[in-house]
Structure 1
């Protein structure tokens, strides 16, 4: 990729665009030897955008202000017409009503290439993808999975909150959530709390944090009736999935965070990066993709479709849970939870 000084570009946009159109090669614009932006064929940018929008995570798209000016309206440049975007740095070049080249900042282009590279790694041609889907549909969940708990969870049993955290040990997470350190050190088990409640007339069973590790994830289960436990970690974990059941209001919601960044279930438009929209599981309809292709959570659509094809569950929320199993490898120890042979701790503040 050749470099061209900014002063030369400003004086001869048409020549530079013609060169990119003819050769199909990028040209880097430098200011005092420092790369600032890249002029590239429109077709190449379209391909990058196509794949980049299908990758999730990666932060917000960089925007730059190059100081090249913001002429209003079409700006003739020889046989081309230049359209300057509102940020003053991005430009589109058109010839005979056909887009031929685009100018993007170095930072934005690197961001696009990184996301596109991530999406391409999982890309398959349609026939290969269909065959792979069929293969995945025949695979069972990891361990016990999580779909088995969906029915009782809807009735707020045994927990109203299910949290899955990647990259942090279970005991550390329990302590950070405000669990009693002595209960953790003693290895308190859920059935012991239940037996003590029955023996002493206490009501600790609904006020404990149950925790463990399955398939590389720390999981937590608890009731959030009196906000006795924390809802966040500092610093935020690599990944965090939260499922909350509020039976009285028929609200069952799902959220997913990467490095503390909330992955919005709906497309994010420019200037709306902070928008947070809750996703309620009752909105999920089998056979329909719940997330738009440009939404951060669109990668879940494939896993939900595979869960539907597998035919293991008919309940919509159980199907959604199975989709999460397949997407993230989530699992909960069924026998340990139902028998009470799973670790737990009371809130430190209530001891």
Structure 2
């Protein structure tokens, strides 16, 4: 990669921009001999940004891109050299170079360019052509639910029964998660069962069910059920995937949250990841027959599974259909008979 010192590039950018425009090769801009910025073709940057936006939250780089803070040089207005026009961004570091009506090159800080390169690499790993992606999504959406699934619980859940909050944590052992949520270690050691708490409440009126945490494992997921949304543990490191479903029957409000590696996946896209995270998606916004999420949203991958649930299942209520879509997309399940009869493990919450 050719290198140009910043002090030489600023007053005379035509040669470097011309090289990038004609060859597509990058030019490294150094400051005191140290890499500071990168000049690259606009077409290459467009491709990198495309894949970087689709990289999800995987890898070691932070989700928020590094933004330049160097403001030593910020001229007013565009500057022309030969066939090229330079437009300096407000931070004084990023620059856009145009030839006629065509953008030919972009200047980025070295840190931001490295960030985009790495995220684009991660995004490309899962790339399929539109035809391949459509066929693969069809295959995934046709998968049957794991075990009993979760759609069966939707009707009683809308009345906060048996629990108003259902959490699913992927890849962690049930006892580990229960302890992180504040479960009494003594109850775990004793193997306390949910039906025992119910029977004791009916006999003694102890009200222990209100502060009990039920839990278990199905497939790759640990599930947890409890009544207070104040409960909830912080797992370190964050699990690969985590789902929270919250019912508030008195407000007819039913929330869905999905996280990957501790990062909340909002229902709507944000520009450059700078916008505030959207609030939890309210399941009652979903209308059967319509896509609940725009395709570019972090949750857009759920659309095909929810639509397939509409076509292939016997469920009719919107919450049941939404749950049936989650079954197919994520493999969520609850043990229907054992949970209904109370033959699942539980523990009282210590806080």
- Residue 135 of structure 2 is aligned with which of 109, 131, 135? 131
Q: 1:339 to 1:304 in 2, by over 3 A?
A: same
Q: 1:271 to 1:158 in 2, by over 3 A?
A: closer
Shift of 1:25: 1.3
* Distance (Å, rounded) in 2 between the aligned partners of 1:141 and 1:88: 53
CA contact (8 A) 1:29 1:36 kept: yes
Shift of 1:68: 5.4
- Residue 213 of structure 2 is aligned with which of 184, 209, 213? 209
Shift of 1:157: 1.3
Q: 1:259 to 1:309 in 2, by over 3 A?
A: same
Q: How do 1:41-56 residues align onto structure 2 when only pairs under 5 Å count? A: 41-56=41-56
Q: Which residue of 1 aligns with 2:254?
A: 252
Shift of 1:143: 2.7
Name the SS of the counterpart of 2:338 in structure 1.
Answer: helix
* Distance (Å, rounded) in 2 between the aligned partners of 1:115 and 1:141: 32
* Distance (Å, rounded) in 1 between the aligned partners of 2:139 and 2:210: 41
CA contact (8 A) 1:170 1:219 kept: yes
Q: Which residue of 1 aligns with 2:298?
A: 296
CA contact (8 A) 1:136 1:306 kept: no
2:188 matched to 1:184?
Answer: yes
Deviates more, 1:100-109 or 1:134-143: 134-143
Deviates more, 1:313-322 or 1:149-158: 313-322
* Distance (Å, rounded) in 2 between the aligned partners of 1:276 and 1:150: 24
* Distance (Å, rounded) in 1 between the aligned partners of 2:323 and 2:117: 32
Q: 1:52 to 1:233 in 2, by over 3 A?
A: same
Q: 1:31 to 1:256 in 2, by over 3 A?
A: same
Name the SS of the counterpart of 1:102 in structure 2.
Answer: strand
Q: 1:275 to 1:140 in 2, by over 3 A?
A: closer
CA contact (8 A) 2:142 2:328 kept: no
* Distance (Å, rounded) in 2 between the aligned partners of 1:293 and 1:50: 14
Q: 1:262 to 1:122 in 2, by over 3 A?
A: same
* Distance (Å, rounded) in 2 between the aligned partners of 1:140 and 1:41: 46
* Distance (Å, rounded) in 2 between the aligned partners of 1:35 and 1:327: 44
Name the SS of the counterpart of 2:10 in structure 1.
Answer: helix
Name the SS of the counterpart of 1:143 in structure 2.
Answer: coil
Q: How do 1:7-156 residues align onto structure 2 when only pairs under 5 Å count? A: 7-57=7-57, 58-67=62-71, 69-156=73-160
CA RMSD of aligned residues (A): 2.4
Shift of 1:234: 5.3
CA contact (8 A) 2:141 2:328 kept: no
Shift of 1:48: 1.6
Q: 1:271 to 1:115 in 2, by over 3 A?
A: closer
CA contact (8 A) 2:63 2:273 kept: no
CA contact (8 A) 1:150 1:317 kept: yes
Q: Which residue of 2 aligns with 1:313?
A: 315
* Distance (Å, rounded) in 2 between the aligned partners of 1:127 and 1:277: 33
* Distance (Å, rounded) in 2 between the aligned partners of 1:323 and 1:105: 42
Shift of 1:272: 4.3
Q: 1:284 to 1:54 in 2, by over 3 A?
A: farther
Aligned residues: 346
Q: 1:184 to 1:148 in 2, by over 3 A?
A: same
Shift of 1:320: 2.0
2:208 matched to 1:196?
Answer: no
Deviates more, 1:93-102 or 1:127-136: 127-136
Q: TM-score, normalised by structure 2?
A: 0.89
CA contact (8 A) 1:56 1:299 kept: no
Name the SS of the counterpart of 2:300 in structure 1.
Answer: coil
